[in-house]
Amino acid sequence: MPPAARQEQPITVDRYTAAARVNHWITAISLVLLAISGLSLFHPSLYFLSALFGGGAVVRWLHPWIGVVLFFSFSGLFIRFWKANLWVREDGTWMARLRDVLGAHDDKLPEVGKYNAGQKIVFWSMSAVIIVLISSGLVIWDQYFYGYTTIEQKRIAILIHAIVAIAAICVWIVHVYAAIWVRGTIRAMTRGSVTGGWAWRYHRKWLRELVGGAKKSG
Amino acid sequence: MVMLQATDVIRRSASKVTTTPQQMPEVAKLIDVSKCIGCKACQAACLEWNDRREEVGVNSGSYQNPDDLTPATFTLMRFTEWVNPDGNLEWLIRKDGCMHCADPGCLKACPAPGAIVQYVNGIVDFVHENCIGCGYCIKGCPFNIPRISQVDSKAYKCTLCSDRVAVGQEPACAKACPTHAIVFGTKEAMLKHAQGRVTDLKSRGYQNAGIYDPPGVGGTHVVYVLHHADQPEIYAGLPKNPTISPIVELWKGMTKYAGLAAIATFGVLGFIHHAINGPNRVSDEDEASAKRLKERGI
């Protein structure tokens, strides 16, 4: 793109406060550490990953504690964002046109608010899997909770923990991929703002609300 | 004594064994419950040989002491007062401990390479320097045997005195047993001996006497002679047909491969999508529209 066409700086729109971003990145780092440490005990071919933490014994005691950090950190995100993730009518339409979503025909999609249906599904799936992971994780946290459950219950818990953790990683891949694919998204979580054009293209209803709110208060 | 020592490994947790082990007869420890007098010499010998000390505990109302296996007590005399169908009391005493399964659930569940090994002679051993203390072995074991130490966070259980067997000695418990209720040798010899004992017991009225060598775990390298082999549960809950839990099989089988495949699929789909569609970019028109909306409200 020639620089001449870019003479004007695009307007920017605030999307995330500093607190929300810190909250997000604590969650993100915890999730990545949990995935790596968890995978190291999940499959023998990945055991070498435990070396990143100082060995399998460190993974054994550290992984649950990172899980606790993630649980509380994610709870913060949940409280911040759950309202904006409630399902509304245009989400159904958006989902029905998933082909256009994946084909980047954003002009054929309904105007959506702060989050589109895909983001909402990621949000609610993550919320659900984290609840299941912390609950099943406590059952197999032998160091502190061994006596509270039977061995059979622990077997069930560890199977659920493994399967749901895989689901969590898959949801995470969708989340990260979407952020990379839709250019201009990551700055929302680094700088806290997006360009007006980004908001116009992907979250026009949200942009209208922001502009309308600013007009009213202004 | 025939050469029973073996350091050759035929199974190793979370790893593949590529070496071909030398041929070696499988060993077994035979525990003849009908001969046991409950003296606990085996228990004492086990603590002594393995240099363990048990905490002074509390009396739980029976001769059983401690109440359960612990990280120090690898073998435990379990006492059961059983009222038989004739209304008479039978005092059943079973020496509990690792059964050294041919198909060990602990080894299958263990995520730490080399923390659990199975020697060519059948002994299943914990290698503590590789143990990470995760407790997966407890979930894998069909007999509820391994215990995690609160001191060093490592798993402990009977080693079948692999260190003694390796130098041609019998396990400490077998050596200490005053009634020869515990004997040790090749599995073949032990089964033969057990068969003789069963015949003897049957001739003395124990119609259901039999050998406990459960096929669900591929047989074991600790074998019982029971006077009531038709109902092993009465011996302090000895499982009738132990197998590795199907939940553990699912967790360590299908889930492991399907899980990695699912993750890989999602990753690959992302790459393919990006390769075909390229990035989704905001256009200058979008920026201009946003500006117009902000300035003029349209």
CATH number at residue A197: 1.20.950.20
The residues near B267 (Cβ < 8 Å, ≥ 6 apart) are A173
- A212 pLDDT higher than 90: no
Over 90: is that where the pLDDT of A2 sits?
A: no
List chain B residues with CB under 8 Å of A154: 138-139
**Percentage of residues in chain B having pLDDT higher than 90:** 90
Q: What is the mean pLDDT of residues B214-227?
A: 98
Mean pLDDT confidence for A12-23: 97
- Mean of the pLDDT values across residues A159-168? 98
Query: Which chain A residues are closer than 8 Å to B67 by Cβ?
Result: none
B253 interface with A at CB cutoff 8 Å: no
**Which chain B residues have a beta carbon less than 8 Å from that of A111?**
none
| Residue B147 C-alpha, separation from nearest chain A C-alpha, in angstroms | 11
Q: Would residue A137 count as lying in a domain?
A: yes
Each residue of B164-212: pLDDT tens digit?
999 999 999 999 999 999 999 999 999 999 999 999 999 999 999 999 9
pLDDT digits (tens, 9 = 90+) for B251-261: 999 999 999 99
A195: its two tokens: 């360009």
Confidence of residue A217 (pLDDT cuts 50, 70, 90): low
Could you report the per-residue pLDDT of A92-130, keeping only the tens digit for each? 999 999 999 999 999 999 999 999 999 999 999 999 999
Backbone φ, ψ for residue A133 (5° rounding): -70, -40
Q: Taking all residues of chain A, what is their mean pLDDT, rounded to a whole number?
A: 94
The arithmetic mean of pLDDT across residues B252-280, rounded, is 97
Architecture of domain B9-243: 2-Layer Sandwich (3.30)
Question: CB of B289 within 8 Å of any CB in chain A?
Answer: yes
In whole angstroms, give the CA distance from residue A163 to residue A157: 10
What total number of domains does chain A contain? 1
| Minimum distance, in Å, between the CA of residue B201 and any CA atom of chain A | 35
Q: What is the 3-state secondary structure (H, E, C) of chain B?
A: CCCCCCCCEEEECCCCCCCCCCCCCCEEEEEEHHHCCCCCHHHHHHHHHCCCCCCCCCCCCCCCCCCCCCCCCCCEEEEEEEECCCCCEEEEEEEECCCCECCCHHHHHCCCCCCEEEECCCCEEECHHHCCCCCHHHHHCCCCCCEECCCCCCEECCCCCHHHHCCCCCCHHHHHCCCCCEEEEEHHHHHHHHHHHHHHHHHCCCCCCEEECCHHHCCECEEEEECCCCCHHHCCCCCCCCCCCHHHHHHHCHHHHHHHHHHHHHHHHHHHHHHHHCCECCCHHHHHHHHHHHHHCC
Q: Where along chain B do its domains lie?
A: 9-243, 253-296
Model confidence band, residue B298 (pLDDT cutoffs 50, 70, 90): low
The catalytic residue positions of A are: 175
CB contact under 8 A, A104 and B153: no
Q: Which domain holds residue A39?
A: 3-213
| Per-residue model confidence (pLDDT) at position A216 | 57
**Mean pLDDT across A170-192:** 97
Q: Please state, as a whole number, how many other Cβ atoms lie within 10 Å of the Cβ of residue A43.
A: 18
* A152 contacts B245? CB cut-off 8 A: yes
Yes or no, beta carbons of A11 and B251 under 8 Å apart:
no
Phi, psi angles (nearest 5°) of residue B183: -130, 155
User: Does the pLDDT of residue B2 top 50, yes or no?
Assistant: no
- pTM value > 0.90: yes
Gap from A71 CA to chain B (nearest CA, Å): 21
User: Tokens 């072995």 correspond to what residue?
Assistant: B137
pLDDT at A7 over 70: no
Rounded to the nearest angstrom, the minimum Cα separation between A56 and chain B is 5
What's the pLDDT score for residue B22? 78
Count how many residues are written for chain A: 218
Contacts of B209-215 spanning 24+ positions with Cβ under 8 A: B209/B34, B212/B238, B214/B99, B214/B239, B214/B241, B214/B242
Q: How confident is the model at residue B282 (pLDDT cuts 50, 70, 90)?
A: very high
Task: Please name the residue of chain B whose CA is at the shortest distance from the CA of residue A165.
Answer: B259
A100 contacts in chain B (CB < 8 Å): none
Q: Is residue A28 part of a domain?
A: yes
Of B247, B270, B287, the CB nearest to A196: B287
Q: Is residue A218 part of a domain?
A: no
Highest-confidence segment of B14-18, B55-59, B197-201: B197-201
